[in-house]
């Protein structure tokens, strides 16, 4: 069964998402300068030509739904989240919004984080199973953030764990899987292959030098990724539009 639920998020069959759920995941310390203001981020996403914006429910309600932004950029509503305050070895990220409500807010996709290898992984597989079916019933895409994390995980970014994350996404029926970088183009290619017909996007990561993030993006695109979801490397940059242009050249050209 093939679906087209991702179509509104693709340009030249590629995806470039601006992630903005860090206020929840890491706290406002990540949102330096103007990036504390959701309208600044939404304007940036539109000016920068991003093909999707990732928000949590409250920001969507107050800044996106029924506004000019809703008419200009498709929304991926992140429907679970956790903070980094408890030092939990085996994390679980709880659901704070239903798929139906995400649809009401104008989302065309929902996003859900799974911590592969956490002692609570089975709860997340069960959650995602229901979310995926509900999303497809409502003609929305189900995007899985899959991050190896937990007391049983020795190396969160090993090539094996990265490919395992990709494969789990395929087997769970995700339309798109957001994974972190592993060591090289070669190893990332294995993850892309493990995901089969499910599209892979890179999760940007903490702010690094321009050259490093651009090289990583180049390497994942060569490995067959569909695109990237980037947050801190753009909105923590001194010139977010300039770095966006450089990223776009790699992703779309």
User: Distance between CA 127 and CA 94 in Å, rounded?
Assistant: 9
Q: How far is the CB of 69 from ligand FBP (least distance, A)?
A: 18
Positions in 77-116 near ligand FBP (CB under 6 A): none
Task: Render 18-51 in DSSP notation, one character per residue.
Answer: EE--HHHHT-GGGS-GGGGSHHHHHHHHHHTT-S
- Among 65, 116, 66, 62, CA closest to 93: 116
- Catalytic site residue 147? yes
Point out the catalytic residue in the list 178, 180, 189, 199: 178
- Catalytic site residue 178? yes
Q: How far is the CB of 46 from ligand FBP (least distance, A)?
A: 18
Q: Which stretch binds ligand FBP (CB under 6 A): 100-108, 169-177, 197-205, 241-249?
A: 197-205
Positions in 17-36 near ligand FBP (CB under 6 A): 19, 21-22, 25-26
User: Residues of 225-236 as b/e, b for ≥16 C-beta within 10 angstroms?
Assistant: bbbbbbbbbbbb
User: Distance between CA 118 and CA 211 in Å, rounded?
Assistant: 33
Which of 133, 195 has the CB closer to ligand FBP? 195
Helix axes 159-172, 185-194, angle to 10 degrees: 20
- Residue in 5, 9, 50, 145 binding ligand FBP, rule: CB under 6 A: 145
- Residues near ligand FBP (CB under 6 A): 19, 21-22, 25-26, 145, 147, 203-205, 229-233
Q: Which residues are catalytic?
A: 147, 178
């Amino acid at each position: 069964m093939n679906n087209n639920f991702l179509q509104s998020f693709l340009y030249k069959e590629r995806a470039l998402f601006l992630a903005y759920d860090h206020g929840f995941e890491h706290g406002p310390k990540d949102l330096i300068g103007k990036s504390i203001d959701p309208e600044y981020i939404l304007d940036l996403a539109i000016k920068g030509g991003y093909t999707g914006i990732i928000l949590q429910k409250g920001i969507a309600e107050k800044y996106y739904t029924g506004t000019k932004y809703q008419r200009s950029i498709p929304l991926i509503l992140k429907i679970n989240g956790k903070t980094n305050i408890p030092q939990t070895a085996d994390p679980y990220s709880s659901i704070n919004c239903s798929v139906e409500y995400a649809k009401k807010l104008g989302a065309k996709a929902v996003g859900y984080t799974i911590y592969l290898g956490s002692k609570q992984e089975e709860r997340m597989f069960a959650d995602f199973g229901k979310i995926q079916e509900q999303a497809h019933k409502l003609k929305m895409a189900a995007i899985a953030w899959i991050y190896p994390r937990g007391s049983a995980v020795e190396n969160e970014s090993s090539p094996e764990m990265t490919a395992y994350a990709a494969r789990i996404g395929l087997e769970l029926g995700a339309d798109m899987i957001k994974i972190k970088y592993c060591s090289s183009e070669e190893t990332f290619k294995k993850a892309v292959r493990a995901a089969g017909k499910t599209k892979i996007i890179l999760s940007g990561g903490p702010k690094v030098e321009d050259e490093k993030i651009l090289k990583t993006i180049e390497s994942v695109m060569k490995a067959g990724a569909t695109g990237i979801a980037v947050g801190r490397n753009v909105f923590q940059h001194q010139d977010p539009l300039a770095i966006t242009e450089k990223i776009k050249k790699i992703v779309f050209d």
